[in-house]
Amino acid sequence: MKKFVLASLVLLATVSAKAQIINPVHWSYAAKKTSPTEAVVFLKATMDKGWHIYSQNVKEGGPIKTSFTFDSSPAYALVSKTQEPKPITKLEKTFDMEVSYFENSVIFQQKVKLKGNGPVTVKGKLEYMSCNDHKCLPPDEVAFSIPVK
């Protein structure tokens, strides 16, 4: 019986070690003051070759769009919506509709109004979905914390 349990544990460990978590999107962040009372926060996604993420502007019935939720703070206020560059728009057979997405890398920008003279850290979370020509991964949520200097 001990040999069976030991063999089962070894087999389970081997299978677990071979299972890989696919993470084709890598996020990085920065912020830049544009004046004493304003700054821009940059949220950059870099995708592995062949992968893409979706625009913030995807119609209902399509993939999960990229979205940003910023924590409220007495230190800053959001100025308008998060901006994105012009996406690629094509018919995606998986969703049977035209969708807008980004390949390789994309930088989203959020303007903020600074309220005070102290240090400011913009915090929040983002959600996105990544796909390639063969599959889509479940949506992922990432927390961020970006100091404004």
In tens, the pLDDT along 5-39 reads 333 333 334 334 445 688 999 999 999 999 999 99
In whole angstroms, what is the distance from residue 114 CA to residue 109 CA?
A: 16
Report whether 75 contacts 122 (CB < 8 A): no
Q: Where are the domains of the chain?
A: 24-148
Higher model confidence: residue 4 or residue 76?
Answer: 76
Q: What is the pTM assigned to this prediction?
A: 0.85
In whole angstroms, what is the distance from residue 101 CA to residue 85 CA?
A: 10
Report whether 106 contacts 37 (CB < 8 A): no
Helix ranges (H only) for the chain are 2-18
Q: Residue 136 has what DSSP assignment? A: B
Q: At 119, is the secondary structure helix, strand, or coil?
A: coil
In whole angstroms, what is the distance from residue 92 CA to residue 132 CA?
A: 11
24-148 CATH: 2.60.40.1250
- Of the candidates 83, 75, 68, the one whose C-alpha atom is nearest the C-alpha of residue 127 is 68
pLDDT digits (tens, 9 = 90+) for 76-106: 999 999 999 999 999 988 789 999 999 999 9
